[in-house]
Amino acid sequence: MTGMGRRGLLASGAAMLAAPRLAQAAGGTLNVVLESEAVILDPYLTTAAITRSFGYHVYDTLFAMDERGAIQPQMVGAYEKSSDGLTWRFQLRDGLKWHDGSAVTATDCVTSLQRWAPKDAMGRLLLASGAAFEVADARTIVLKLRQEFPLVLEVLGKPNAPVPFMLPERLAKTPGDQRLTEVFGSGPFRFRADQWRPGSVMVLERNPHYTPRAEAADFLAGGKRVHIDTLNLRVMPDQATAASALIAGEIDYQQYCPFDMLPRLERARNIKLMPLGGLHMFQGNFRLNHEAPPFNDPAVRQVLWQLVDQATILQAIGIPKQFHVDACPGFFMCDGPLYSGAGAEVFRYNVAAAKAALAKTSYAGQPVVMLEVAGSISQTASAVLAQALKQAGFTVDQQVMDWGTVLARRARKEGWSMFSVYSNGIDMISPLNHFYVANTCADYPGWSCDARVPPLLTAFTRAPDLAARRAITEQIQRIAFELTPSVTWGQFTIPAAYRTDLKRLPQSSFPMFWEVER
């Protein structure tokens, strides 16, 4: 490992704690450019990171993860577990209100959890343990289980999308297969639908009804104190244009800076880079569609393990050495608590061997339809793989579009073969939250399935300690290398950048704008 990889997945890249304030002074407007435009605003219906980023500003959660990776109470004020581990009681803290000032109730939260759990891999594991959420009184939620489930708090406080955000009962009653028609939460910001200009800007304003926790803000946990009046989420699909706008003072923050402009940003006056390590690194993947040719044939999928060269892809993207891990062949983040090389012997770049292997499969020239996000580093990763695919004998059809279109296209079982994407490290550290492992045999874009995996995931949730979870993880990973739900193209970090007149900005790969002030 080199550079950031040595810091360890759960180590902090930079301190982000700040002393709590006694009052929420407000003032000013921030103009920020995030990874893309938020196009799906229902937080339960997508794993897109941009929807999660939007959600953490307008919604709240019962529990939340701190910088150390520990789960802390958020909307919950107090909780207790029965001696047999089958009954949990959660009491909501004082001062919780929806954006219109009405009180948050236990009924709201129970209805939210009932809508969320079937849509989420970890939620479904909780349900498989016989989980039933009940309302004891206006502020008390009761969870009853048929079998003990040691990871209850990890599920309720998980930051992996879809996040269990709380909704008012009237919205949480929306059928799970229908999108919400309204954005209405209890988070530190509220969405101004009347000022939304798709393709241009989304406007969030400070929620005057929000009561922060008393503790200091700590990653996604603690007191989220808002000191600005308005947060404008500007849409600039081209990263270079956004970087130029940042240098010119037209925006205040850019989530993903283009690597080729890092030297210019480092030299620019009044600009500060946010180098990120630890759990703030990313993992890149090529997600495969198991429902459509040619990757409905497992033998054809296996050929890809010999066509992905992580070092070449990271070099082509232009990621400086200090911002990436040289090679990470496992499914779970290198230096993470569950990283393993089990089964990774198949991951060896060799185009000649891949060509010979492909000739022995059922492949008959069907096009590999690659969905590519225009101007993104994932498009560069796709371009490198496309060249190797052609050399091995595949017919390749590269289709370039925006991320919103990729999300829409990938929801259909036909018309695509793979797409390239990168995800936050905390989304890829465990079999329970790795998008393409946790959703094995689920209705999830790509539709990969091996019947051996779901029981192992259940066993993982009941494992008594880390050693037992590691052993189960190795079994799961060996199966994943056979199944090939995705192929990893690298582990790296992307620096954010911001104007130096912003103070107390949380240092995170999750864009967060509580605490910040000028």
The domain segmentation of the chain, as residue ranges, is: 3-230, 282-492
Cross-strand partners of 132: 144
Asked if residues 247 and 469 have their Cβ atoms less than 8 Å apart, the reply is: no
Question: Which residue type is seen at 492?
Answer: F
Question: Which residue type is seen at 497?
Answer: A
DSSP reduced 3-state for 204: strand
DSSP string for 387-398: HHHHHHT-EEEE
Average confidence (pLDDT) over 466-478: 96
The per-type count for the chain, helices as H runs and strands as E runs, is: 15, 18
Average confidence (pLDDT) over 291-296: 98
CA distance 126 to 408: 28
Cross-strand partners of 395: 367
DSSP reduced 3-state for 287: strand
Backbone angles phi, psi at 13, to 5 degrees: -75, -30
DSSP reduced 3-state for 474: helix
More reliable by pLDDT, 466 or 91: 91
Average confidence (pLDDT) over 198-205: 97
Token digits for 31? 């103009």
pLDDT at 276: 80
CA atoms within 13 A on the CB side of 104: 32
Match 């030299």 to its residue by tokens: 267
Q: What is the pLDDT of residues 401-422, one digit of tens each?
A: 998 899 999 999 999 999 999 9
Average confidence (pLDDT) over 6-29: 44
Tell me: pLDDT of 7 over 50.
Answer: no
Asked if residues 215 and 252 have their Cβ atoms less than 8 Å apart, the reply is: no
CA distance 331 to 325: 14
Tell me: pLDDT of 26 over 90.
Answer: no
Question: Which residue type is seen at 504?
Answer: R
10 Å CB burial of residue 413 (0-12, 13-18, 19+) is middle
Q: What is the pLDDT of residues 81-92, one digit of tens each?
A: 999 999 999 999
Average confidence (pLDDT) over 218-223: 97
CA distance 218 to 63: 12
CA distance 21 to 42: 32
Number of residues written out for the chain: 518
* Mean pLDDT taken over the chain: 92
> Other CB atoms closer than 10 Å to residue 462's CB: what's the count?
16
Average confidence (pLDDT) over 385-411: 96
Asked if residues 326 and 2 have their Cβ atoms less than 8 Å apart, the reply is: yes
pLDDT at 237: 85
pLDDT above 70 covers a percentage of the chain that reads 95
Cross-strand partners of 422: 284
CA distance 425 to 278: 8
DSSP reduced 3-state for 433: coil
Tell me: pLDDT of 190 over 60.
Answer: yes
Mean pLDDT is lowest, of 16-30, 51-65, 134-148, for 16-30
Tell me: pLDDT of 19 over 70.
Answer: no
pLDDT at 53: 97
Geometric angle at alpha carbon 59, from 56 and 60, rounded to 5°? 85
> Other CB atoms closer than 10 Å to residue 479's CB: what's the count?
18
DSSP reduced 3-state for 182: coil
Tell me: pLDDT of 108 over 90.
Answer: yes
Tell me: pLDDT of 16 over 80.
Answer: no
- How far CA 276 is from CA of 132, 325, 508, in Å, comes to 39, 13, 7
Task: Outline where 297-427 has alpha helix (H).
Answer: 298-303, 310-317, 351-359, 377-392, 403-410
The CATH number of the structural domain formed by 282-492 is 3.10.105.10
CATH superfamily of this structure's domain 3-230? Periplasmic binding protein-like II (3.40.190.10)
Backbone angles phi, psi at 294, to 5 degrees: -95, -5
pLDDT at 61: 98
Sign of the Cα torsion 338, 341, 344, 347 reads positive
Model confidence at 9, pLDDT cuts 50, 70, 90, reads: very low
> Other CB atoms closer than 10 Å to residue 208's CB: what's the count?
12
514: nearest Cα among 16, 11, 14: 16
CA distance 149 to 277: 31
Tell me: pLDDT of 23 over 80.
Answer: no
Model confidence at 392, pLDDT cuts 50, 70, 90, reads: very high
Mean pLDDT is lowest, of 26-30, 305-309, 507-511, for 26-30
Q: What is the pLDDT of residues 299-342, one digit of tens each?
A: 999 999 999 999 999 999 999 888 899 899 999 999 888 999 99
Asked if residues 87 and 142 have their Cβ atoms less than 8 Å apart, the reply is: yes
